[in-house]
C-alpha cells in the first residue's frame, strides 16, 4: 500500500467516524415529530423522510405524531426539545406562516424557536364542485357565485386551514360570493360535498382524486402556479383568464426544521440528506402522482428562512382580510 493510498483511507475513516459525532447521543434514534394525526399528507411525508434519510445519516429515525391546536402542540414540543439534532419537526405553512395570525397566544415562536433545515415541497389545492353545480370552469363558477342569491357555499378542513384561506384568497381576488362552512377535517367536508350539502371545496388533491376519477366530483382548477401531473388535464386558476387571477397561487407547504440552537454541522448534514432524498427521480414521480409538488431546487436554511418570512406576510394579509381568528 503506497503512502498516498494509506492517507486517503485514513481520511475516509476519520470522516466516517467523525460524522455521527455531530449528533449528541448518536445511539438514540432521531425523532421526526409530525404535528398532525396519522394518515394525512404531512404524516406520510414524515414517514417517507424517516425511511429515506436514515441510511444517509447513519441513524435510526422514527416518527411521532403530536396533533392538536393546528399543529401547535407538536411545534411547541420540538421548540422545547434539546437542540442536539435528535428531534426534528415537519413544519407546515400553517405551523410557521399562518398560526401567528390566527392565535393571540402561541406556545412557540415561529420566528425564533426553530432552525430551518430545508423545504420538502408543496401541496396544491384542487377546486372541486358537486357535479350538480352547473359550472365547468373558474369563469363559470365566479359568474354563478355572483348571480345566485346568497352565493355558493364552500366547505373546508377547518377555520384557518390552507383550504379555508385559499378559498378566501380566491374570493378576494375575484369578488365571488362564497359562504364558508368549516368542518373537522377534509373527510367530513368531502362527504357533504358528495351529498350536495355544500357546493364546492378547495381540497388537497389525494382525498378528492378518486371521486373525481369516477365522476362523483368535478375538478375545475388547481391553485398552484403550474398544472399538476396527477390531474394534468385540470387548468390552473391563473389560466382561467378571470379578472384578478393572473398570478393566483395558494398552496400549503411542508418543511423540515430543528430546535433553535442546533449545531450548524448537524443542520448542514440534515439539509444535505434532505436535498438528496428530494431529488430522487423515482420518489419525485411517486409524490407527483399523489398530488404533491416536491421542491424543484433544494432551499438552503437561509433561503427557507427568507421564504417563510415572505409567506408569513402573504398569509397575514389573507387572514386579516378574512377576519378569521381561533382564540
**Strand duo 87-92 + 30-34: pairing:** parallel
* Residue 264 domain-assigned (yes or no): yes
Report the alpha-carbon distance of residue 244 to residue 212 in Å, rounded: 27
Report the alpha-carbon distance of residue 202 to residue 165 in Å, rounded: 9
CATH number, position 150 = 3.40.190.10
Helix (H) or strand (E) holding 156: strand 152-156
What Rg do the C-alpha atoms of the chain give, in angstroms?
Answer: 22
Q: How many domains does the chain have?
A: 2
Give the residue from 210, 240, 270 where a domain finishes: 240
**pLDDT for res 24:** 57
CATH number, position 267 = 3.40.190.150
pLDDT, one tens digit per residue, over 236-290 is 999 998 888 999 999 999 999 999 999 999 999 999 999 999 999 999 999 998 8
Neighbour count for residue 323 (Cβ, 10 Å): 7
pTM of the model: 0.85
* Residue 327 domain-assigned (yes or no): no
118 and 140 inside one domain: no
pLDDT, one tens digit per residue, over 25-64 is 667 899 999 999 888 889 989 999 999 999 999 999 999 9
Report the alpha-carbon distance of residue 183 to residue 193 in Å, rounded: 11
Residue 102: domain span: 30-122+252-322
Instruction: Judge contact between 244 and 59, C-beta under 8 A.
Output: no
pLDDT, one tens digit per residue, over 100-158 is 999 989 999 999 999 999 999 999 999 999 999 999 999 999 999 999 999 999 999 88
72 and 220 inside one domain: no
Neighbour count for residue 70 (Cβ, 10 Å): 22
Give the residue from 216, 240, 264 where a domain finishes: 240
Amino acid at each position: 500500500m503506497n503512502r498516498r493510498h494509506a492517507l486517503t483511507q485514513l481520511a475516509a475513516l476519520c470522516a466516517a467516524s467523525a460524522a455521527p459525532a455531530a449528533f449528541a447521543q448518536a445511539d438514540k434514534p432521531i425523532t421526526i415529530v409530525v404535528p398532525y394525526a396519522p394518515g394525512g399528507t404531512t404524516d406520510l411525508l414524515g414517514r417517507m423522510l424517516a425511511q429515506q434519510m436514515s441510511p444517509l445519516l447513519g441513524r435510526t429515525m422514527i416518527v411521532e405524531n403530536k396533533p392538536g391546536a393546528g399543529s401547535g402542540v407538536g411545534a411547541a414540543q420540538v421548540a422545547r426539545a434539546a437542540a442536539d439534532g435528535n428531534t426534528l419537526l415537519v413544519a407546515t405553512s400553517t405551523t410557521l406562516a399562518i398560526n401567528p395570525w390566527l392565535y393571540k397566544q402561541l406556545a412557540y415562536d415561529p420566528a425564533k424557536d426553530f432552525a430551518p433545515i430545508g423545504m420538502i415541497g408543496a401541496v396544491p389545492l384542487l377546486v372541486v364542485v358537486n357535479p350538480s353545480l352547473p359550472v365547468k370552469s373558474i369563469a363559470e363558477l365566479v359568474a354563478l357565485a355572483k348571480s345566485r342569491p346568497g352565493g355558493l357555499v364552500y366547505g373546508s378542513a377547518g377555520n384557518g386551514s390552507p383550504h379555508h384561506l385559499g378559498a378566501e384568497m380566491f374570493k378576494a381576488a375575484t369578488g365571488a360570493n362564497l359562504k364558508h362552512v368549516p368542518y373537522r377535517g377534509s373527510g367530513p367536508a368531502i362527504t357533504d360535498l358528495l351529498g350536495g350539502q355544500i357546493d364546492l371545496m378547495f381540497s388537497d388533491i389525494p382525498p378528492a382524486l378518486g371521486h373525481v376519477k369516477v365522476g362523483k366530483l368535478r375538478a375545475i382548477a388547481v391553485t398552484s402556479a403550474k398544472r399538476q401531473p396527477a390531474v394534468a388535464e385540470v387548468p390552473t386558476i391563473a389560466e382561467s383568464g378571470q379578472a384578478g387571477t393572473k398570478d393566483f397561487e395558494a398552496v400549503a407547504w411542508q418543511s423540515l426544521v430543528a430546535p433553535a440552537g442546533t449545531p450548524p454541522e448537524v443542520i448542514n448534514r440534515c439539509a444535505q440528506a434532505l436535498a438528496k432524498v428530494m431529488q430522487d427521480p423515482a420518489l419525485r414521480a411517486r409524490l407527483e402522482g399523489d398530488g404533491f409538488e416536491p421542491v424543484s431546487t433544494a432551499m438552503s436554511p437561509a433561503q427557507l428562512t427568507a421564504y417563510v418570512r415572505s409567506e408569513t406576510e402573504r398569509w397575514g394579509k389573507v387572514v386579516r382580510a378574512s377576519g378569521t381568528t381561533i382564540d
